[in-house]
Amino acid sequence: MAQPGSLSDEDVEHLRDELVRGREPTVWFTADAVGVEAGRSARVVGLNDPVEGDFIQVRPAGSHDELSFSPGELTLERPGRKRSPAGPPAVSRPSMEQRMSEIENTTTETPEEVAAGDTAAVEEAPVKKPRPAASTAKKTRVADVVITISGSIDGDWTVDVVAAKKKALRALPVTPAVVGQAAKALHPEVAESIESILEQAREQQTAKVEQLRAELEAAQKALEELAG
């Protein structure tokens, strides 16, 4: 449960307004603050989304670290003071001495004064590590897909597909023409590599056709001579 005097919604809006004006307002840690001595001062340097819980970014006096705290761990009340209760103004008018005393007591302390007063607290109190902001991005699991095209200059081409470490297709036959078209659609360098292999296959098949044609002509001639 938050201690009395911790930051209210109105206090948070006040801090937000101060940050918009380029100021770093001073707050103090309550007894609920984890890892920080109660009563130690800090400067507010930023406000995150309230749904994160510890959304108030502060820099404790005498430290360069920026830590995250919840409204229940901070207060606008300086140690040893209490807020004036809300109500109608007092009937009696304060004297001049009382006014001067109030002005002196409400003088804003400088960052140097805050740092000097809290040096001992920095050495004694453990520093609270900043908590990583919760990511709101929805993580999508993408299955790994590996497509392997195998072939040779003999003209035998196959495709293997492995999806999520399981083979979906194994040694699926494809024609050289399909391989050439797919290579052109992928990338010019891929098309160039595949085209060189296809060209070698064409030359080899052309040579084989010429050899078979010569053998056929020789067989035909021999047949004619036998028939003669």
If asked whether residues 101 and 203 sit together in one domain, one would say: no
Asked whether residue 16 falls in the same domain as residue 58, the answer is yes
Q: Determine the pLDDT at residue 76.
A: 94
**Beta-sheet strands, E only, within 12-165:** 26-29, 41-47, 56-60, 67-69, 74-75, 145-151, 157-163
Residues 6+ apart with CB under 8 A from 117: 41, 61, 109
44 in a structural domain: yes
Residues 28 and 111 in one domain: yes
Domain membership of residue 200 as a residue range: 145-227
Question: Is the pTM above the cut of 0.75?
Answer: no
Mean pLDDT by 10 residues, the chain (228 residues): 73 94 94 88 91 87 90 88 50 51 52 49 54 54 70 80 71 87 89 86 86 91 88
Supply the CATH number for residue 111's domain. Answer: 2.30.30
Region of 35 on the Ramachandran plot (φ > 0 left; ψ -120 to 50 alpha; else beta): left
